[in-house]
A and B are shown apart, each in its own frame.
Chain A
Amino acid sequence: QVQLVQSGAEVKKPGASVKVSCKASGYIFTSYYMHWVRQAPGQGLEWMGIIKSGGTITQYAQKFQDRVTITRDTSTSTVYMELSSLRSDDTAVYYCAREFPESYYFDSWGQGTLVTVSS
């Protein structure tokens, strides 16, 4: 069955960077896009960006354009999301979510990774 397993919770200081991983299994990794979505405490979901199935095309939400980088390693079927210059309002649960190309919906989600930014 499809599984997206994310790395564990992180605690970071303001100004630092965090790199969250999402390991995929149960499907052909290179055939799907992967998105990152975050959810601040008590808030709604917020789309951050996508890496497409070819691995060379990424697109980021304008809000995160200069701070986020999404990469992938096909040898381990893992996608990474790195967020830099962390601020307290980056404290959130970060999710990876899969999309079949050009389907425009997310059919499987990781379990989420809590990133806490605190001095």
Chain B
Amino acid sequence: QSALTQPPSASGSPGQSVTISCTGTSSDVGTYNYVSWYQQHPGKAPKLMIYEVSKRPSGVPDRFSGSKSGNTASLTVSGLQAEDEADYHCKSYAGSNGYVFGAGTKVTVL
């Protein structure tokens, strides 16, 4: 099972938006609406930000949004803030293969 494809980095100025893509295959992202996104600050455990493609857990700001089209899911962070600087990992359910993650995208707030 190959990892999902994410860009290694993305950046934006405070107040701007940044969108991160996550490309899989018809065996994972393309078939299941079970894509989730995790934020990870250096030295910390990941934190759930988006589940089921576009749903936000309680406590996650509505600046974070998710979507999916075909085999590609996306995470958009609007109104970038300094605390949004972190690594973002996408994950998809892959049926009998379990779960597959992307390699992570480092978001820098300029």
Q: When each residue 1-29 of chain B gets 1 if its CB lies under 8 Å from chain A and 0 otherwise, what string results?
A: 10100100000000000000000000000
Which residues of B (93-109) have their CB < 8 Å from a CB of A? 93, 97-104
Q: A56 on the interface (CB 8 Å rule)? A: no
Asked if B103 and A104 sit within 8 Å, CB to CB, the answer is: no
A110 to B98, CA, bound (A): 20
Q: When each residue 74-110 of chain B gets 1 if its CB lies under 8 Å from chain A and 0 otherwise, what string results?
A: 0000000000000001010100011111111000000
Asked if B51 and A59 sit within 8 Å, CB to CB, the answer is: no
A47, A50, A62 pick with most chain B CB within 10 angstroms: A47
Asked if B46 and A95 sit within 8 Å, CB to CB, the answer is: yes
Q: Which residue of A lies closest to B33 (CB)?
A: A104
Give the residues in chain B near A35, CB-CB below 8 Å: 99
Which residues of A (30-64) have their CB < 8 Å from a CB of B? 35, 37, 43-47, 49-50, 59-62
Asked if A104 and B36 sit within 8 Å, CB to CB, the answer is: yes
Give the residues in chain B near A49, CB-CB below 8 Å: 98
Residues of A in contact, count (CB < 8 Å): 24
A110 to B51, CA, bound (A): 19
A50 to B45, CA, bound (A): 18
Interface residues of B (CB under 8 A from A): 1, 3, 6, 32, 34, 36, 38, 45-48, 51-52, 57, 89, 91, 93, 97-104
Interface residues of A (CB under 8 A from B): 35, 37, 43-47, 49-50, 59-62, 95, 97, 103-107, 109-112
**New A-B pairs, 15, CB < 8 Å, besides A60-B98, A105-B48:** A37-B101, A44-B89, A45-B89, A47-B91, A47-B98, A47-B101, A49-B98, A62-B1, A103-B51, A104-B34, A104-B51, A105-B52, A106-B46, A106-B48, A109-B45
